[in-house]
């Protein structure tokens, strides 16, 4: 009986997809527990690149069961496009992918509402991915949502009622839109969805655990985008933290084993909101170029900066992280010096915690600067090859974060992954 959780500790895009794929051979089941197609999880192996949005990243490794849990919000159209593309590329998934009947459906009008709310916010907009995430979770919590299981009985009626409610809101906002094409595709995709195993995934997972099977829960987004603990209101609309795996899959907290927290060797953010270590200079541009920091879902430029240990300590605390995984170390291969933020200065006063009302303008990061390693690490196969300066960087991070770094990623490919054995 064992459930491990793997989740992002920053503002998303830490490299969760790659690592879930690497770890999948150690598990029987891989399950997504929250978020929806706002996620873009990239995997690379055998010269191919795949971007997954709603389908768990365990789908490529043998005959594992992959589950889309109740905590996820699912857009049938985007799901159909994603699933068909995978099937076309020789990865059949109808037998292996199980979808919770309790997962909520993203309706075409949810996407329109997402755009309308963003437009209404004007300058203070969140910069959402535009996938209807916020409005769908809003309907879930206000007890107005439609769930995957609803497509099996009297669906037309339920859909018409939900759509009419949304149309009233959009009318009251004077928001112009046309959903004809979007809706046509969406209704076709509802039929496609029926071809999958629609299950009570909480029973399935708990029964598998009873049989001694192991589960890896795959987080989406990151802790600083968590609706409770992130940089609110510039967050997503779900609990991205470890507790989300319990509510998003129906797993008791006593079943959770390892909590893997993923971070980049630096930090990025897409969309609006505070980002204390953001770099607006040539260094930030260099990180963006070397790290190919452009969104997997929207293609937007990712904002880049140095690693933020204040935010990371907070993320480790609220998740109960037991092991760290550091991604994209190779992106810093060619820097004279590397910086790590160890505190914030606000109004001349230094603090070492993430403040309630964080304002970008009056926050100044306090940095420790270390020598860079100036070595191409992308072809390394063991930690024994790590340069001295890189070892000093990871030692420093482990000491500051009081958590061991167990996996180091040195490139996007499945093979560019180094497991550390030293304590
Ligand atoms: P996720 O949303 O957390 O799964 O991360 P994304 O897929 O959105 O973004 C991570 C990006 O970094 C993808 O393009 C990956 O292919 C790439 N990537 C992952 N690990 C590494 C690494 O160690 N080095 C480099 N250079 N790229 C990586
Ligand atoms: P993965 O799983 C990075 C950000 C958006 C926006 C905010 C709210 O690939 O790491 P939403 O559409 O969720 O209402 O947008 O959250 N965001 C992400 N940023 N990676 C993601 O997912 C994200 N999912 C949402 O940019 O700032
Ligand atoms: Mg991503």
| Region class of 12: left (phi > 0), else alpha (psi between -120 and 50), else beta | left
How far is the centre of ligand 3, averaged over its atoms, from the C-alpha of 197 (Å)? 26
Alpha carbon 280 to chain centroid distance?
Answer: 24
Q: Which residues of 137-175 are buried (b: 16+ CB within 10 A; e: fewer)?
A: bebbeeeebbbbbbbeeeeeeebeebbeebeeebeeeee
Q: Determine whether 13 is an active site residue.
A: yes
H or E element that contains 227: none
Q: Whose CA is nearest to atom 8 of ligand 1?
A: 13
Q: Is the pLDDT of residue 414 over 80?
A: yes
Angle formed by the axes of helices 180-193 and 108-121, nearest 10° = 130
Ligand nearest to the CA of 20: 1
For residues 36 and 320, give the distance between their C-alpha atoms in angstroms, rounded to a whole number. 24
Q: How far apart are CA 360 and CA 305, in angstroms?
A: 13
Which-ligand-closest: CA of 262? 1
Mean pLDDT of 65-89: 97
The pLDDT assigned to 348 comes to: 84
The pLDDT value given to residue 288: 97
Mean pLDDT of the chain: 96
Q: What is the mean pLDDT of the segment spanning 347-361?
A: 83
Pocket of ligand 2 (CB under 6 A): 8, 11-13, 38-41, 126-129, 131, 133-134, 220-222, 225, 236-237, 270-271
Q: What is the pLDDT of residue 423?
A: 60
pLDDT in tens, 235-278: 999 999 999 999 999 999 999 999 999 999 999 999 999 999 99
pLDDT above 80 (res 296): no
Bigger pLDDT: 141 or 296?
141
Reduced to 3 states (helix: H, G, I; strand: E, B; else coil), residue 296 is coil
Spatial distance between the Cα atoms of 132 and 297, rounded to a whole number of angstroms: 13
- Residues 6 or more apart from 367 whose CB is under 8 A from it? 306, 339, 340, 341, 342
**pLDDT grade for 57, boundaries at 50, 70 and 90:** very high
Read off the pLDDT band of 1 (50, 70, 90): low
344 touches 351 (CB < 8 A): yes
Say if residues 99 and 197 touch (Cβ distance below 8 Å): yes
Average pLDDT over residues 135-150: 98
Q: Is 42 in the pocket of ligand 1 (CB under 6 A)?
A: yes
**Which residues surround the ion ligand 3 when the cut-off is CB under 5 Å?**
13, 40, 296
Confidence at residue 17, expressed as pLDDT on a 0 to 100 scale: 98
Mean pLDDT of 356-382: 92
Q: How far is the CA of 264 from the centre of ligand 1 (A)?
A: 9
Kindly state the average pLDDT of the residues 183-191.
Answer: 98
Q: How far is the CA of 269 from the centre of ligand 3 (A)?
A: 10
Per residue in 78-127, pLDDT (tens digit) is 999 999 999 999 999 999 999 999 999 999 999 999 999 999 999 999 99
Query: pLDDT band at 308, cuts 50/70/90?
Result: very high
Closest CA to 38 of 223, 237, 195: 237
* Per annotation, catalytic residue among 4, 21, 41, 150: 41
Mean pLDDT of 195-223: 98
| DSSP-based three-state secondary structure for 197 | strand
């Amino acid at each position: 009986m064992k459930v491990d959780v793997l989740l992002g500790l920053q503002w998303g895009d830490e490299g969760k997809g790659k690592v879930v794929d690497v770890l999948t051979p150690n598990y029987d089941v891989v399950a997504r527990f929250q978020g929806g197609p706002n996620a873009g999880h990239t995997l690379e192996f055998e010269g191919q690149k795949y971007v997954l949005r709603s389908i768990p990243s365990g789908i490529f490794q043998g005959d594992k069961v992959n589950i889309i849990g109740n905590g996820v919000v699912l857009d049938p159209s985007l799901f159909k496009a994603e699933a068909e593309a995978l099937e076309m590329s020789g990865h059949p998934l109808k037998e292996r992918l199980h979808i919770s009947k309790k997962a909520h459906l993203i309706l075409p009008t949810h996407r329109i509402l997402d755009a309308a709310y963003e437009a209404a916010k004007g300058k203070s907009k969140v910069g959402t991915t535009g996938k209807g995430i916020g409005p769908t979770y809003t309907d879930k919590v206000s007890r107005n949502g439609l769930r995957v299981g609803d497509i099996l009985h009297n669906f037309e009626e339920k859909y018409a009622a939900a759509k009419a409610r949304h149309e009233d809101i959009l009318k009251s906002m004077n928001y112009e839109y046309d959903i004809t094409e979007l809706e046509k595709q969406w209704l076709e995709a509802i039929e496609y969805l029926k071809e999958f195993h629609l299950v009570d995934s909480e029973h399935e997972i708990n029964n598998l655990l009873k049989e001694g099977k192991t589960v890896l829960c795959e987080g989406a987004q990151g802790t600083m985008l968590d609706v409770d603990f992130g940089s609110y209101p510039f967050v997503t609309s779900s609990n991205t933290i470890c507790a989300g795996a319990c509510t998003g899959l129906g797993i008791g907290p006593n079943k959770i084993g390892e909590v893997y927290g993923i971070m980049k060797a630096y930090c990025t953010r897409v969309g609006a909101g505070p980002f204390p270590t953001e770099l607006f200079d040539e260094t930030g541009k260099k990180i963006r170029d070397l790290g190919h920091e452009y969104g997997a879902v929207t293609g937007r430029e990712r904002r880049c900066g140095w690693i933020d240990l204040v935010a990371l300590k907070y993320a480790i605390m609220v998740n109960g992280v037991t092991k760290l995984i550091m991604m994209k170390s190779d992106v810093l291969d060619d820097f004279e010096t590397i910086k790590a933020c160890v505190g914030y200065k606000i109004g001349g006063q230094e603090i070492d915690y993430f403040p309630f009302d964080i304002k970008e303008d009056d926050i100044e990061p306090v940095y420790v600067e270390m020598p860079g390693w100036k070595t191409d690490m992308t072809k390394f196969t063991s930690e024994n090859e790590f340069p001295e300066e890189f070892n000093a960087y990871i030692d420093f991070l482990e000491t500051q974060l009081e958590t061991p770094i167990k996996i180091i990623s040195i490139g996007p490919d499945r093979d560019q992954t180094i497991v550390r054995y030293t304590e």
